[in-house]
Structure 1
Amino acid sequence: MVDWRDDRIRSAAQGNNPLLVAEMQSGYAVMADMQFLPGWCILLPKSRVPSLNSLSIAQRSRFLLDMSIIGDAVNEVCAPVRVNYDILGNTDQYLHAHIYPRYDWEPESRLKLPVWLYDAECWSDPKSAFDSERHGAMMRELREYLLQHMTD
């Protein structure tokens, strides 16, 4: 059996991705694997493309709008001090956008840095991994917000 992690986009499209929050017009809002910043989401495109520049202007506009709507949901549900957005593609070399909240409980020195500079243990600590019992209510609230606020 194929693991959903082997093709996150296809598993989201088929409803097999346990991190799926909601289908959006341009792709799929999913929770990040690690939740050391609770509410961290990722927008996956509906089809695997190498970068934002691989999309038409209309598709880019839709993807970026959907990314910002996920940011609205994170702001509403998680009440961070701000939301950061990243489109990198260095490790997973296909288009996807990270939407992550930043919190006032983070050390001030850490809050000023990109999330990627967090210590390595944050990325592998099982206590930070998405867990439906710990994060399920937040995921449902994010889904509800997105379903109410997606635009045509």
Structure 2
Amino acid sequence: MNNQLNGEWKQDRIGAAHRDENPMVLAKTRSGFAVLGDTQFMPGYCVLLPYKNVNALNELDFKERSEYLLDMSLIGDAIQEVCSPRRINYSIYGNSDAFLHAHIFPRYEWEPEERRNLPVWQYPKEMWSEEKYQYVFEKHGEMKAKIAKKLHEYINKAY
């Protein structure tokens, strides 16, 4: 539990998830761990971490890739159900954090007009780093629990 409080788990998010030390885990999926994003300026933002630490989607075999991409969409289904965004954006980059992980972003009608049709990465960098946008249990815990519950339902239907 100490690692959760001091943030050490962020140094190895996949390993921490395997050790039950990553407090952002929503569910284990067929392909990895669904986690809530550290920043929540887009309520419901999630990430899919694979079970094994690989550099890219292409390092997974065909079955693993299929499961990973299906799991991404199941996370999107759960976010859609709980947060009611206008759409879900899915992205895999690996440029900054050089390991496979998929971002699942809800996009909302209330977003500023000048940002609504742009990639979420175009938001000011403060949105990613300022404390007021970071996950806080008291503020986001109920949403996290609802997404986790819905995600478990979708996983059970899919597999």
User: Which TM-score band applies after superposition, normalised by the shorter structure?
Assistant: over 0.9
Matched, 1:11 2:13: no
Equivalent runs, 1:3-152 vs 2, <5 Å: 3-150=8-155, 151-152=158-159
The 1-side partners of 2:107 and 2:113 are apart by: 11
Structure 2 letter corresponding to 1:120: K
RMSD of aligned Cα (Å): 1.0
Give per-residue Cα distances to partners, 1:56-106, cap 9 Å, x unaligned. Answer: 011000000000000000000000000000000000011000001000110
Compare the two structures and name the one with the higher helix fraction. 2
Which stretches in structure 1 are left out of the alignment for 5+ residues?
none
Q: TM-score, normalised by structure 2?
A: 0.93
**Structure 1 outlier segments of 4+, above 6 Å:** none
1:106 alignment partner, SS class: coil
Shift of the alpha carbon at 1:127?
A: 0.8
TM-score when normalising by structure 1 = 0.97
User: Helix, strand or coil for the counterpart of 1:73?
Assistant: helix
**Which runs of no fewer than 5 residues in structure 2 stay unpaired?**
none
What one-letter code is carried by the residue in structure 1 that aligns with 2:9? W
Q: Give the CA deviation at 1:108.
A: 1.6
